[in-house]
């Protein structure tokens, strides 16, 4: 597949009308935890499927027929075409309806939307990824990207936290990433069962374990607001420039392409200016939220 830098953002593959969802079939469903499943989805049209391109950190709008749409990150490997994976926490009407359709069901898909992780800036950097809960879904394509292009960066660290061992997503892959040593992966849980041998405590505790070379560190974080905030402050205090601390944000979405204003965040639209922002772009908005 052709390789894209994050500045060459792929245009949405929605046909002539960006509002019109493309039919896409659910070909497989993997259980991640009690309310979260990974849906493997194939765009039905052969030509569109084979030309669909996207970058780590981008998202699709998934449509449950007759119910509505939800923004869902693409969680698979962007250099492996054909099947798109979406890891969905079943929380409301759209995600429940997609879940009910299950394997063989046909949904609608618009995208890819948004600005993803800055993979074109990775060269020569230490990369620290911080994820909480389902925030690992948009980070996972970044892990795949780094594993494919390992020679382009120095240290690669993945810090992941969730409530209990049973709440992990991609548990088998996390084990493989932890043990194979290609990246430094560390998983922590807030509450452990007796057979858990890893760290216990919130993911922000792991931040203290990271030795940071501020001159060459890039941070990419996605999780609940508290996690994003803690990750940003932690690395800023360690003198990592705000322009190299990246956060993926969530806001209510409707159009996905900058028309409706639903996702407005200060002067930004999360769907087009984000969802990934350098902290330097949103520091003022962050500060005004805290005031
Ligand atoms: C850029 C972007 C990427 C996203 N990627 C993913 C993804 O990869 N996987 C995923 O599962 N979701 C993802 N989301 C979140 C998803 O879009 C929302 O959860 C969406 O509202 C689900 O639609 P729904 O109709 O099922 O639930 P809604 O009807 O919108 O919500 C129902 C109820 O659930 C609550 N709720 C909504 N979202 C959450 C949540 N995340 N956690 C806890 N409670 C919630 C609401 O407050 C509401 O009370 C993403 C959002 C954005 C903006
Ligand atoms: S979702 Fe419509 S402007 Fe962002």
Q: What is the pTM of this model?
A: 0.93
Q: Which of 168, 185, 167 minimizes the C-alpha distance to 176?
A: 185
In the chain, CATH 3.40.50.80 covers 119-248
Distance between Cα 63 and ligand 2 center (Å):
16
Ligand with minimal distance to 73 CA: 1
C-alpha closest to that of 255 among 17, 12, 19 = 19
CATH match for 119-248 among 3.40.50.720, 3.40.50.300, 3.40.50.80, 1.10.150.120: 3.40.50.80
**22-113 architecture in CATH?**
Beta Barrel (2.40)
Name the residue with the closest Cα to ligand 1, atom 37: 91
What integer pLDDT is reported at residue 6 of this predicted model? Answer: 47
Cβ of 225 closer than 6 Å to ligand 1, yes or no, is no
pLDDT of residue 120: 93
* Tens digit of each residue's pLDDT, the chain (291 residues): 444 444 556 666 655 467 889 999 999 999 999 999 999 999 999 999 998 999 999 999 999 999 999 999 999 999 998 899 999 999 999 999 999 999 999 999 999 999 999 999 999 999 999 999 999 999 999 999 999 999 999 999 999 999 999 999 999 999 999 888 899 999 999 998 778 888 999 888 888 888 899 999 999 999 999 999 999 999 999 999 999 999 999 999 999 999 999 999 999 999 999 999 999 999 998 888 765
pLDDT given at position 81: 81
| Parts of the chain belonging to CATH 2.40.30.10 | 22-113
Cα of 272 vs centre of ligand 1, distance in Å, is 18
């Amino acid at each position: 597949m052709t390789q894209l830098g994050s500045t060459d953002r792929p245009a949405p593959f929605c046909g002539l009308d960006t509002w019109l969802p493309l039919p896409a079939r659910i070909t497989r469903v993997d259980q991640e935890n009690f309310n979260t499943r990974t849906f493997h989805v194939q765009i039905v049209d052969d030509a569109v499927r084979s030309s669909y391109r996207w970058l780590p950190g981008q998202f699709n709008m998934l449509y449950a027929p007759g119910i509505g749409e939800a923004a869902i990150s693409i969680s698979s490997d962007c250099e492996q075409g054909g099947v798109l994976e979406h890891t969905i926490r079943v929380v409301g009407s759209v995600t429940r309806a997609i879940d009910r359709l299950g394997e063989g069901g046909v949904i609608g898909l618009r995208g890819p939307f948004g600005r993803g992780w800055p993979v074109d800036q990775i060269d020569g950097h230490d990369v620290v990824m911080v994820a909480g809960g389902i925030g690992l879904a948009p980070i996972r394509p970044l892990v795949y990207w780094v594993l494919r292009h390992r020679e382009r960066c120095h240290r690669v660290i993945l810090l992941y936290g969730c409530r209990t061992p049973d709440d992990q997503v991609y548990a088998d892959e996390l084990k493989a990433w932890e043990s194979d040593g290609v990246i430094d992966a560390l998983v922590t849980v807030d509450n452990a069962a007796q057979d858990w041998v890893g760290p216990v405590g919130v993911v922000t505790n792991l931040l203290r374990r990271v030795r940071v070379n501020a001159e060459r560190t890039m941070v990419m974080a996605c999780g609940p607001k508290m996690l994003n905030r803690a990750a940003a402050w932690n690395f800023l205090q360690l003198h990592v420039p705000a322009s190299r601390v990246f956060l993926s944000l969530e806001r209510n979405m409707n159009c996905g392409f900058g028309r409706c204003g639903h996702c407005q965040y200060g002067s930004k639209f999360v769907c087009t200016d984000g969802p990934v922002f350098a902290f330097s772009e949103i520091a003022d908005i962050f500060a005004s939220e805290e005031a």
